[in-house]
Amino acid sequence: MRPPDDEALCLVALCATEGIGPSTVNVLRRTASARSAPLSKILALPAGRLEAEVGLPAPTARAVAAMGEPLGAARAVLDALGRLGAHPVLAGDRDYPARLVQCLGAQAPPVLFIAGDGALLHTPSLAIVGSRAPSRAAVGATRRLAAEQAAAGVTVVSGGAQGIDTTAHLAAARSGGTAVVPAAGLATWLRGRPTSRSPLAGRWCAVGQFPPQAPWRGAQAIIRNRTIAALADAVVAFEPRDAGGTWHTSITALRMRKPLFVVAASYHGAKGRGLRRLVRLGAVALDPRHMPDPPALAMLIADYQPPPAPDQLPLFGDGAP
């Protein structure tokens, strides 16, 4: 992390505050630049002026004003993160994953809260996501794929959810490296997942993009799904239903023109419909009984052709029609 100058501390304080996202941070930074004022001076404005002069919605203006003195608030956040073995990484820092800015643009998190080995975010990577209630065949295929990819030096990215995500995380951590992107704040996730900090868990990294103490929220899961896709060179989705989190991550990957592979043990039911629809949109189906080894998957990724008309994807929405 860069030396924590006043602007960096203000950014940490903002991103550790509930109700403040990248759009608000960008507006506040533009206001400070336009006024040739330090960001801390803008944050010191009362809620009414933040609303009237800066254009923040009233609830957001109140959240900024309630933050208090930003430099002190940021130092408290840094102390709390340090006790968890975590630290912030700011956009523009050398340690910040360039993929996020490339894929998410202005919606890239201004600050990431990182625990574990952040170097894993700068290696070749494969997102493995999927059903919370997978078939036995999908679990076995996930375990093999994650272990082999991690052993080959690929970081396996997942969302830390039950089912496929956790299977991939554990298999990759034992064999090489894994990065988890939880839908809760980093401190909340670390407290709920003590085994992720055990030496037996191998090489891992956790990427927090929400206030460290934030609980799990459905809206955060949607944002997290975009981050997973952005961090990965390719995505493998196991047994996606035609709605829900795995479907959303898959559609996001297609919109980002990332290679997308889908795996299902059955062509029946919602999981079968999800697979068929994603294949029609441009995904490649894989057989869980014959998953590609690392060289074969690398060739599939290199040969992948993105869908020719990604602008049509919004017609499919984030769920079933």
Structure tokens at 34: 């336009």
**How much is the pTM?**
0.91
- Amino acid 318: pLDDT: 46
pLDDT at 194 over 60: no
- Amino acid 22: pLDDT: 96
51-58 long-range contacts, Cβ below 8 Å, gap at least 24?
54/27, 54/28, 55/27, 56/24, 56/27
Structure tokens at 109: 């998190």
**SS3 of residue 89 by DSSP:** strand
117-316, CATH topology level: Rossmann fold (3.40.50)
Work out the mean pLDDT of the chain and round it to a whole number: 91
Q: Which residue has the tokens 């609980």?
A: 215
Segment 213-233 mean pLDDT:
96
Percent of the chain at pLDDT exceeding 90: 84
Q: By the 8 A CB rule, do 225 and 252 touch?
A: yes
Segment 153-175 mean pLDDT:
94
Q: Which residue has the tokens 């799990």?
A: 216
Q: Where are the domains of the chain?
A: 6-84, 117-316
**Which amino acid, 194?**
P
